[in-house]
Structure 1
């Protein structure tokens, strides 16, 4: 993030005016220096309000209220800023955007719409000023002339809901605390000795700069047994004053750039009032030079006493930053513009499928044989002006899928035929189409693989499953030759291939032909014996992308553990590279105790890990029943759960943790904090405080 220009109206000191940081069309000043005055202090505060954003600005209402001019409806800010890929936006998004808001005399904040803008060019996209929703995007900091330092009280786990606001507090409050340098350096050092490259590079930059420019003895900083508590005590007062705000800035950059190999290179904005106050004449220019080197892409706006302007390094003041080029006509989700299709074109719509849809591929084969063209569209982002016949398939019964179905029906009306298990379990393709080989050319990802069914049906009547109702008992519907069409990779969608009486013949043929096979709908471990395990080990069982070995089983309840453990043993899985995945459905009728028991069982199997999948209601399916999900041991069970760690795919477990956290809060009216800590232990740590705030706020709303 960089700020290009700001327009303000009805502020207490400056009234109305604008601030422009651009040097030309493609550059802006890296360092903007203003002499200390009431007008410039207010302008610095206005920039801080821009950076804080409309969501959190009401928490600064005592400062915003004092900025409102008397006898007005409040002050107005409009601004143009840049966003930078990959830190703030995807590469395809437009980097130059505008935003704005009104602040009333009571501190309330109202976001402006594009139609309300007075000062922003109409060709600049207008966006919500949502700064503050996380730690990573739109990086900015602000510092005042006085501050305190945390001493053993700093929080590094992002559990504070206002953690991002701490970046700005010292500009307004002399009692605000900056980072505990010892605690931060210890954390950075821990990552450094673990050879984590971002930490190594950051530590090297800091130690070199502090040693060269501030005579800090940093020779031991990279040692494995470095004692930062003792090293900190050796600092002279002037060294302490000089490096504390730098360490604080580095800490926030690292927080905002957790996965970047070069975190210090990220763009952002730093506002500073009177930094000269804690750095004497002969060291001030060197201190500025350190900031300039450590943060090469940061835009600095500084208010200084007039006498300090004379010693500000001229070569630093002349530096410029590049404005990212705007990309016209780019949106994050591109519409597929098909326009008016030829009259001999059949439109096939894959409403919500994540993998190629077999029914649509059979329809394509059928109509192409009759001389028609076929055109596939996927999801809900398309624009078709005219078409005579449409077939659409909806697999899921989710709200998103149903919205897309409604949109399709509204658009195509009687020209469209709709089917799929998400809508109607009884509607089937006509026999003459069902018997057609699939047209794999319809989907680009099927270039070198086949996908479809050898068998359909299942003899079991699991309460969550519609296969027995829809397909009946197992039967063969295709031969390997018919399905493969001369390919050597195949994704099998069979409901329960091992339940088919002649399954061993099919497995033997796959092994003999040395096929790469993805058993996409999992294998029923209950139906495995020594011979079948041997056959399956001879088959190249792969993941969906055929990039590694993968065996897929399912475990949806706590029945048959002993038989499954025995059958699992027939495979002699020992290595993690076997990648044995158990798909576990949750949110249907199991209890928390049963879920924990399932996860513990899977963890006890050599080489096994879990993939969780939430139950989705489908037409004529059974509703979920979670009335008995929790018992009086809920807290203890969750404590046990979060200690069960799998060798891979814990990202999937995080999905279950989030669901569990939500229903726990709904049931007990509180958060289970060890569970929340586990959710944010490795991923999206900066959003932890926001998650806590949103949960507590939503709970308050429901109770009202």
Structure 2
């Protein structure tokens, strides 16, 4: 059979820096059945194939409706169905990914002037899930169908010995009872590994810190600080982590989501102040925020604040050296950034305190606080 595999996000988004794991598993399975498999990077000529599989991760990636109606097309993924996405068959789900599916496309990008580092996940990483599930049931998260974290697959299912690194996509790895055994196996490979979706800081213990931070970790350790109500617990865990590592700790800071579902002016104001409080706490403990905005932030009367706080935080070279006020000054007094911050400060003068926070100064204080404790 002739099989076309389409990564819809590859077609529909300007930047694509991560392969679609489902697409690679489908390719691996059908190539093993001696099918002629190709990665299709457009929607032309799909009737010429016996089967066409389309997958997408992001809900805002557009796919033409007429394509989805073709009789030889099967489509799936959270981008289409969110938490109602149909599962893959076990034989596909647990198949070794075809890590060469994207080769031709990657080489085209490199030949056109792309930097190799931008395609490292296509070229250097074994990718998969050791565990699935999460018990948190956060209202903004796709993982609504689980009550626990469970072992999903063996490392051998997706580990390519020829690839230098390992990337895990687990939802809440530290919530699994078998975390120690799996971390030990990862360390025994001798390969650098990372948890790209982040880890649950609230679940850290001395034992977990000792094992996790002694591993050959790839890049920054990433956690999440999504709710200011968790501040006391998160701060305690940061102090615990700092007893075991001086490595960069980065925290996803989710913002722009109203858990009370009111979406009024008071929510938007308080949400921005809550974000600043989290940023200040992270500064004190020499940790970096990475601001992630819920898509409804565009409805906020303070939309520009969300954009510029994210621009400041998500560029560590600026965040580590400049206060938010200094960052706005760099953009110039005629810039939209400067205007957004000025208008917000005029309306809420108390925000000035947060505008003048600096990572260098705050993190030094935080390190001293940790030593004292």
Instruction: Supply the RMSD in Å over aligned alpha carbons.
Output: 3.6
Q: Are the counterparts in 1 of residues 290 and 313 from structure 2 also a CA contact under 8 Å?
A: no
1:387: which partner in 2?
49
Distance across 1 between alignment mates of 2:294 and 2:50: 37
1:600: which partner in 2?
280
Work out whether 1:513 is the aligned partner of 2:189. Answer: yes
Q: Could you tell me which of 310, 316, 328 is aligned with 1:649?
A: 316
What is the 5 A alignment of 1:542-691?
542=218, 549-572=219-242, 578-589=247-258, 591-606=271-286, 608-616=287-295, 649=316, 681-682=329-330, 688=335
Per-residue deviation, 1:347: 0.8
Higher helix share: 2
Q: How many residues align?
A: 295
SS of the aligned residue for 2:253 comes to strand
Q: Which runs of 5+ in 2 are unaligned?
A: 11-15, 104-120, 259-269, 344-373
Per-residue deviation, 1:374: 1.4
SS of the aligned residue for 2:241 comes to coil
Per-residue deviation, 1:382: 6.0
Q: Residues 692 and 557 (structure 1 numbering): CA distance in 2 closer, same or farther, change over 3 Å?
A: closer
Distance across 1 between alignment mates of 2:29 and 2:235: 46
Q: Are the counterparts in 1 of residues 132 and 150 from structure 2 also a CA contact under 8 Å?
A: yes
Q: Residues 460 and 534 (structure 1 numbering): CA distance in 2 closer, same or farther, change over 3 Å?
A: same
1:454: which partner in 2?
130
1:490: which partner in 2?
166
Q: Residues 564 and 514 (structure 1 numbering): CA distance in 2 closer, same or farther, change over 3 Å?
A: farther
Per-residue deviation, 1:566: 2.4
Work out whether 1:504 is the aligned partner of 2:167. Answer: no
Q: Are the counterparts in 2 of residues 588 and 626 from structure 1 also a CA contact under 8 Å?
A: no
SS of the aligned residue for 2:67 comes to helix
Query: What is the TM-score with the length of structure 1 in the denominator?
Result: 0.38
Greater Rg, structure 1 or structure 2?
1
Distance across 1 between alignment mates of 2:80 and 2:250: 30
1:525: which partner in 2?
201
Distance across 2 between alignment mates of 1:421 and 1:475: 20
Per-residue deviation, 1:475: 1.3
Q: Could you tell me which of 474, 478, 484 is aligned with 2:153?
A: 478
Per-residue deviation, 1:691: 9.9
Q: Residues 505 and 626 (structure 1 numbering): CA distance in 2 closer, same or farther, change over 3 Å?
A: farther
SS of the aligned residue for 1:348 comes to strand
Q: Which runs of 5+ in 1 are unaligned?
A: 1-343, 543-548, 617-622, 631-637, 654-673, 697-704
Q: Could you tell me which of 79, 83, 86 is aligned with 1:427?
A: 86
Q: Residues 592 and 646 (structure 1 numbering): CA distance in 2 closer, same or farther, change over 3 Å?
A: closer
Q: Residues 482 and 533 (structure 1 numbering): CA distance in 2 closer, same or farther, change over 3 Å?
A: same
Per-residue deviation, 1:441: 1.6
Query: What is the TM-score with the length of structure 2 in the denominator?
Result: 0.69
Distance across 2 between alignment mates of 1:585 and 1:516: 27
Q: Residues 690 and 448 (structure 1 numbering): CA distance in 2 closer, same or farther, change over 3 Å?
A: closer
Higher strand share: 1
Per-residue deviation, 1:458: 0.3
SS of the aligned residue for 1:501 comes to coil
1:366: which partner in 2?
29
